[in-house]
Structure 1
Amino acid sequence: MIGALGLMKERRFLPLFVTQFLGAFNDNLFKNAMIFFATYQIFNSVEQETQFSAIATGIFILPFFLFSALAGQLADTYDKARIMRIIKAAEVAIMLVGAAGIFLKSLELMLVALVGMGVHSTFFGPIKYAVLPQHLRHEEVLGGTGLVEAGTYIAILCGTIAGGLISPNVAAIAVICVALAGWLSSLKIPPAPPLTKLELDFNIFRSSYRLIAATMHIKRLYLAIVAISVFWTIAAVLGVLFPPLVKNVFHAQKDVASVFLAIFSIGIAIGSVVINRLLKGEVSARYAVASVLAMAVFVIDFHFAAVFWPVNDGPLLDTRDFIALSAAWHVLFDLGMIAVTGGMFVVPLYAFLTTTVEKSQTARTVAANNIVNSGAMVAGSVGILGVTQIPGVSVEDSIWVVVALCFASAFCAWLLHKAEREPHGPDMLP
């Protein structure tokens, strides 16, 4: 069996990995450049900053909720490689709009491009997971899934750092170049012909309802999707809180916010690799409960590190001044471990989605997951915005919402682990 890293030498995996890596990089380069620009150059209050961060997160996620069912149908009905090439060509056009917004310092154009990138990711998401069981052997799927997750978060790291450090004009040129590179790499993805033929339903609301109803009757899929959705709600809440938390609690500049997001991305990538080693290719949730409970412990410690942060006046700290504080290493360690345990939790759950049903149905299964995930993430973004507006509730107090979500994830994972040990035959969507 080719080891997980050995897949990087294979044409059946490497072009897909590069294509999804560049897409994730571009998403985060553009989104973070926009959010940091608004947080540090336009708005001057924690309420406005948190509100804009939540709005940007919400409008990026909304297309997943609206169009995932159609994306899943298309991916299961047509050649997945061909669809990916069309999607990556569309990304070039979207980034031209985004670049115009950056050059003109127009938040309106930037938000239009952000919606476009959300649509782009909606149609690409089901394919990048659904193509794995078609191109890889069964025992390679968990390793391939782990590499895709690890690569996604390394890309988030690189895009986050670039979005926080490079100038707006350089970012405008970079997003176009990266989109072109992603399109070129998609040309090398081997064909992935359809394994079924569906009659497409273009009514996005009816097709979404039918897809979710068809998927959620399978117990293991239902529990995996709910657990993944709670996890991504945690990620959405932390994504909303990070920029105002860094500026107003840790009293630091935007480059420190980039460090926070970078540490989080590295940690999830590490967790993705660690869990693949522990499970040795087996698709199982047996480590999920322990992983997410450990995550809760580190979230609680992170909360208290924020409450007792020693610096709250004077100029905002840059990265060098921030890491010179001994308390900063405590904060960064907590962030890293939150992410490592999170990666260990979520990667096997994605493998459940692609191995529980027939290969001809994997894209629709991932699409159903994306619909539920996106709804949960939008609810989390809006919900945490509402929590921060409650009189007397500070940004650091809002971290307790994440703790509660960790315990909800642990319960879902426990139920999933019980369900996977029950006898079952092959599952099919109706």
Structure 2
Amino acid sequence: MTTTTHLMRSKRFLPLMATQFFNAFNDNLYKTALVLFVVYSVYNSEKHEAFFSGLASLVFILPFVLLSALAGQLADTRDKARIIRIVKLCEIGWASLGAAGLFMAWQGIAVHTFAIPLLLFVVFLAAAQSTFLGPIKYAILPQHLEKDEVLPGTGLVEAGTYIAILTGTILAGFIYVELAMVLIVVTAVAGYFVSRWVPDAPPQSDYEMHYPLLEPYAEKVRNPVLRWLGYAPVAIADQAVMSWRLVRDTMHNREIFLAIIAISFFWTIGAVLFIQFPPLAKNQLLASKEVASLFLVIFSIGIAIGSVGVNALLKGEVSARFSPASVVVMGVFVIGFYVVAKMWSPNAAGELLSVGSFLMEPLAIPLLLMLLGISTAGGFFVVPLYAFLTTRCAHDAASRTIAANNIVNSLSMVVGSLIAIGMTSIGIPVAEQLLLAAAMSIISAWLGRLLFNAERAALALA
């Protein structure tokens, strides 16, 4: 029996794997179903559609910026399995709120005044849940698995998460909203009951969460609810300071600094592109929400192809030598995608194209190949940079380095979302916004070149 087969049959691992699968599936099902429904069924203006898509992405990213440091501390100082169960129980709450918001929007009840703000609030809650589960899904593995099982276990969690994201994204584009609202609640309930089988994972550190500025206040206020209400805002501010210190302390290594900046700039571009796909599919291509979902899926598949391809080229070596050229190629494909989209001739009937009808269009395959080229080249660019984060830092600083990268990445995606919202607000058409992503690729290539030069300089001194 292989290690992988053994793990998939093990009570030490399978409940965690299933819990993470349900979580990633539900997040992507809800967010994608929400954006596609609002873009295709609520708004009838490219400007409003692009603005909402950008706003939803911005709201989804914010918890990762605000709460990542707190989530990491909780994972180190509390029983990880207990946190999982609490968070999964909370998921039933946000899923129910999300289902209520979708129902109201579907039925046309207070759509703009209440339903859409509620739906965006639930996006924030869903992202907050993922923020707290993120550090645990890796940190808990060494507690439950043998040393030789950790690597295959990590690979299985990654593969399961990737499949869950794709499944949720695809399904959101092909089911009716009334089915989606039921499915997110059912998935949340299933995820909670599975999480109850995750074995306990007590903290392995003596570190205690400490808020010195708040201790005198906390001692004076006896009511726990009032204490929390006063405690929470300052505690979150304290976490922001700690996040900044974490990032600052990580940046002393030039290779790590450049890798984090290059990765973050790449995801700024990615945020701009992801926001544009639904309104572009609807207004420029006159394609259905199923086609918009297909775009998101192809983008994810391309990143995976690029990941495998660059690993094969580098033969296990950690190097940025292909990164500058890769991101230039990505920019060329973005321009190609823009050109093909601008050449697109809407169907005479003016009806939205189904996936089958879309694929019969003469420019459909070239357009999809351009999109696949964008994401594949992106995978070639960004994947080796992630390896720098764990191979160029001290062994006892790997977790902090990854956390710092996650914080900066999230901030960059916030910037990308704000850029897209800003361009939409001043009236720049969605298709033309693609050209900004192409221009930004030049800066990414420059950052990749700086990283490769730093890599060579470090090797020369070794």
TM over 0.5: yes
- Alignment partners' CA distance in 2, 1:128 and 1:305: 41
Pick which of 71-80 and 88-97 moved more: 71-80
C-alpha contact (below 8 Å) 1:299/1:402 kept by paired residues = yes
- Alignment partners' CA distance in 2, 1:373 and 1:220: 16
Report Cα offsets for 1:348-404 as digits up to 9, x if no partner. Answer: 33343345445654443333222211221111111122223445x422111111112
Deviation at 1:194, TM superposition (A): 3.4
Deviation at 1:214, TM superposition (A): 1.6
Query: Which residue does the alignment assign to 2:50?
Result: 50
Spell out the pairing of 1:354-393 with structure 2 (5 A cutoff). Answer: 354-357=390-393, 361-391=397-427, 393=428
Query: Which residue does the alignment assign to 1:319?
Result: 355
Deviation at 1:199, TM superposition (A): 3.8
- Output the amino acid matched with 1:342: G
Query: Which residue does the alignment assign to 2:178?
Result: 169
Deviation at 1:72, TM superposition (A): 2.3
Aligned pair in 2 of structure 1 residues 193, 213: CA closer, same or farther (>3 Å)? same
- Alignment partners' CA distance in 1, 2:5 and 2:456: 30
Report Cα offsets for 1:302-356 as digits up to 9, x if no partner. Answer: 1111111122652122211110012000011111222222233333333433454
C-alpha contact (below 8 Å) 1:74/1:200 kept by paired residues = no
- Alignment partners' CA distance in 2, 1:196 and 1:253: 54
**2:297 corresponds to 1:285:** no
Structure 1 unaligned spans of 5+: 425-430
Pick which of 30-39 and 150-159 moved more: 150-159
Query: Which residue does the alignment assign to 1:262?
Result: 297
Report Cα offsets for 1:222-269 as digits up to 9, x if no partner. Answer: 222212211211221112111110111111111111111121122223
- Alignment partners' CA distance in 1, 2:394 and 2:80: 16
Deviation at 1:190, TM superposition (A): 8.0
C-alpha contact (below 8 Å) 1:7/1:144 kept by paired residues = no
Give 3-state SS (helix, strand or coil) of 2:286's partner. Answer: coil
Query: Which residue does the alignment assign to 1:344?
Result: 380
- Alignment partners' CA distance in 2, 1:194 and 1:374: 28
% of aligned pairs identical?
Answer: 49
C-alpha contact (below 8 Å) 2:55/2:421 kept by paired residues = no
Give 3-state SS (helix, strand or coil) of 1:250's partner. Answer: coil
Query: Which residue does the alignment assign to 1:402?
Result: 437
Deviation at 1:211, TM superposition (A): 1.7
Deviation at 1:145, TM superposition (A): 6.9
Query: Which residue does the alignment assign to 1:25?
Result: 25
Deviation at 1:144, TM superposition (A): 7.3
- Output the amino acid matched with 2:378: G
Query: Which residue does the alignment assign to 2:64?
Result: 64
- Alignment partners' CA distance in 1, 2:118 and 2:76: 33
Aligned pair in 2 of structure 1 residues 292, 8: CA closer, same or farther (>3 Å)? farther
**2:207 corresponds to 1:197:** yes
Deviation at 1:64, TM superposition (A): 1.3
Aligned pair in 2 of structure 1 residues 239, 189: CA closer, same or farther (>3 Å)? farther
C-alpha contact (below 8 Å) 1:195/1:359 kept by paired residues = no
- Output the amino acid matched with 1:399: L
Query: Which residue does the alignment assign to 2:306?
Result: 271
- Determine which structure has more spread, i.e. the larger CA radius of gyration: 2
- Output the amino acid matched with 1:101: G
Query: Which residue does the alignment assign to 1:332?
Result: 368
- Alignment partners' CA distance in 2, 1:240 and 1:169: 24
**2:274 corresponds to 1:239:** yes
- Alignment partners' CA distance in 2, 1:387 and 1:138: 50
- Alignment partners' CA distance in 2, 1:58 and 1:264: 19
Pick which of 222-231 and 283-292 moved more: 283-292
Deviation at 1:205, TM superposition (A): 2.5
Report Cα offsets for 1:27-68 as digits up to 9, x if no partner. Answer: 111011111111111111011111111111111111111111
- Alignment partners' CA distance in 2, 1:346 and 1:292: 9
Aligned pair in 2 of structure 1 residues 194, 110: CA closer, same or farther (>3 Å)? same
Query: Which residue does the alignment assign to 1:36?
Result: 36
Pick which of 103-112 and 273-282 moved more: 273-282
